[in-house]
């Protein structure tokens, strides 16, 4: 987790210069749209990124954001637009876990109201906290939820000291769904 935090902070030194604090509700809506509501989907996310011409990021930067082991593929982008006044990072990855294909979608923001993000998360989901890990600098929360007929794990990492303009990292992890 420390490596991901360092990579996240380094990325935002490059991406977020001069940005203002971002409304947590609009950041959650972005996360919900691309990672949560239909679950993480590698092919769909890559296609959306190509259509929107999001700026691809180097794999070395993205590997530190991946929430699972057994990485098969990873793509990520600096995202702007979509109703957001600042850039964020969106990463999608494919993994094999216990013989099953699993996709994970991670969003990283800087300058976000984390309390508003979590309020919007709980208004949208029935997320049940199954783990919380506190460090001197961050709180890592793990939620189990059922959404649109599928089980997902969601992680949210926020600073230990919230100030309304926080670094925030959220991931959705679910078994890959196959279209018939």
Contact (Cβ atoms closer than 8 angstroms) between residue 74 and residue 92: yes
Q: Quick one: CA dihedral 130, 148, 4, 95, positive or negative?
A: positive
User: pLDDT 10s per residue in the chain (180 long)?
Assistant: 444 444 444 444 444 444 445 577 788 999 999 899 888 999 999 999 999 889 999 988 887 777 776 788 899 999 876 666 567 899 999 988 888 888 999 999 888 888 999 999 999 888 878 999 999 999 999 999 887 777 889 999 999 988 878 889 999 998 876 543
What gap in Å lies between CA 87 and CA 109, rounded to an integer? 8
pTM of the model: 0.82
Q: What is the domain partition of the chain in residue ranges?
A: 1-14+65-180
Q: Please give the structure tokens belonging to residue 83.
A: 């109703």
CATH of 1-14+65-180, one of 2.120.10, 3.30.10, 3.40.1000, 3.30.70: 3.40.1000
Length of the chain, in residues? 180
């Amino acid at each position: 987790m420390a490596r991901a935090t360092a990579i996240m902070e380094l990325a935002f030194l490059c991406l977020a210069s001069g940005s203002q604090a971002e409304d947590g509700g609009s950041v959650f809506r972005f996360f919900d749209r691309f990672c949560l509501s239909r679950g993480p989907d590698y092919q769909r996310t890559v296609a959306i990124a190509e259509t929107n011409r999001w700026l691809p990021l180097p794999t070395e930067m993205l590997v530190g954001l991946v929430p699972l082991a057994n990485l098969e593929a990873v793509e990520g982008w600096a995202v702007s637009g979509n109703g957001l006044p600042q850039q964020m990072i969106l990463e999608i990855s494919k993994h094999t876990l216990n013989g099953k294909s699993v996709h994970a979608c991670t969003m990283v923001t800087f300058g976000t109201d984390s309390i508003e993000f979590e309020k919007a998360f709980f208004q949208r989901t029935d997320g049940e906290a199954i783990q919380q890990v506190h460090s001197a600098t961050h709180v890592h929360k793990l939620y189990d939820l059922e959404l649109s007929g599928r089980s997902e794990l969601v992680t949210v990492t926020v600073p230990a000291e919230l100030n309304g303009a926080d670094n925030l990292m959220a991931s959705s992890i679910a078994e890959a769904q196959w279209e018939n």
